[in-house]
A and B are shown apart, each in its own frame.
Chain A
Amino acid sequence: AQSVTQLGSHVSVSEGALVLLRCNYSSSVPPYLFWYVQYPNQGLQLLLKYTSAATLVKGINGFEAEFKKSETSFHLTKPSAHMSDAAEYFCAVTLPFGNEKLTFGTGTRLTIIP
């Protein structure tokens, strides 16, 4: 079975600083990986996804993530944090075949310090 682990349930960065949210996965076959963002009292919005093409994936709002098979990681980064980035971020994994069930991590709450 596949799983993801998000290191750090809370991350705080200063406005303008680098954002780094960590995600490690476990899967018996090369997986598809996703990052979603959730604002308070809202659903999930897709930031970016890795589906076995380029290992460096660029998403919306200036976010990007790099798939590293050797490290089983898919960390999310943004060079310069903005106040509007404050939200909950979820890493998720699914297998390329089957019913595309998403398995989510427990989430990382990102706080931006003015």
Chain B
Amino acid sequence: ETGVTQSPTHLIKTRGQQVTLRCSSQSGHNTVSWYQQALGQGPQFIFQYYREEENGRGNFPPRFSGLQFPNYSSELNVNALELDDSALYLCASSSGGKGPSPPGYTFGSGTRLTVV
């Protein structure tokens, strides 16, 4: 059973650029959530995808967008990068989605994004 894999592990971008982060969910999981963890903070929920549809969104602007593919892998796209977007971006997969199933989240190791 493979876990959650994220790529790239590190990335440096210039303010105003666009970035795409990728996540492969754990085998058997149909739900992917993305979190932003700023330095010294707890992770903040960005959004979740369930069966290729957005299934909830946190307090992030529209320049944060995502996709989920038929194999349940996912992308996080951030446009018009700002210095405050520098953070660790974590992907988590689960087999829940909608309904009261006991959650089992598996987190990836994250992508460290630095905006200069």
Task: Flag if A106 contacts B56 (CB, 8 Å).
Answer: no
Q: Please indicate the chain B residues that have their CB under 8 angstroms from the CB of A102 in the complex.
A: 33, 35, 43, 45, 92, 105
Interface residues of A, count at CB 8 A: 26
Find B42's partner among A41, A51, A96, A106 (CB 8 Å cutoff): A106
Task: Flag if B41 contacts A107 (CB, 8 Å).
Answer: yes
Q: Please indicate the chain B residues that have their CB under 8 angstroms from the CB of A45 in the complex.
A: 107
Q: Please indicate the chain B residues that have their CB under 8 angstroms from the CB of A99 in the complex.
A: 48, 50, 55-56, 97-98
Interface residues of B, count at CB 8 A: 32
The yes or no answer to B70 lying at the interface (CB within 8 A) is no
What is the minimal beta-carbon distance from B53 to any residue of chain A, in angstroms? 11
Chain B minimum-CB-distance residue to A42: B109
Q: Please indicate the chain A residues that have their CB under 8 angstroms from the CB of B48 in the complex.
A: 99-101
How long is the Cα–Cα vector from A106 to B38 in the complex, in angstroms? 10
The yes or no answer to A35 lying at the interface (CB within 8 A) is no
How long is the Cα–Cα vector from A36 to B94 in the complex, in angstroms? 15
Task: Flag if A105 contacts B42 (CB, 8 Å).
Answer: yes
Q: Please indicate the chain B residues that have their CB under 8 angstroms from the CB of A43 in the complex.
A: 4, 90, 107-110
What is the minimal beta-carbon distance from B105 to any residue of chain A, in angstroms? 7
What is the minimal beta-carbon distance from B64 to any residue of chain A, in angstroms? 15
Find B103's partner among A32, A42, A107 (CB 8 Å cutoff): A32
| Chain B residues within CB distance 8 Å of chain A | 4, 31, 33, 35, 40-45, 48, 50, 55-56, 58, 90, 92, 94, 96-100, 102-103, 105-110, 112
Instruction: Enumerate 18 A-B pairs (CB-CB under 8 Å) in ascending A order.
Output: A36-B107, A43-B4, A43-B110, A44-B43, A44-B90, A46-B105, A90-B42, A94-B103, A97-B99, A98-B98, A99-B97, A100-B97, A101-B45, A102-B33, A102-B45, A102-B92, A103-B45, A104-B44
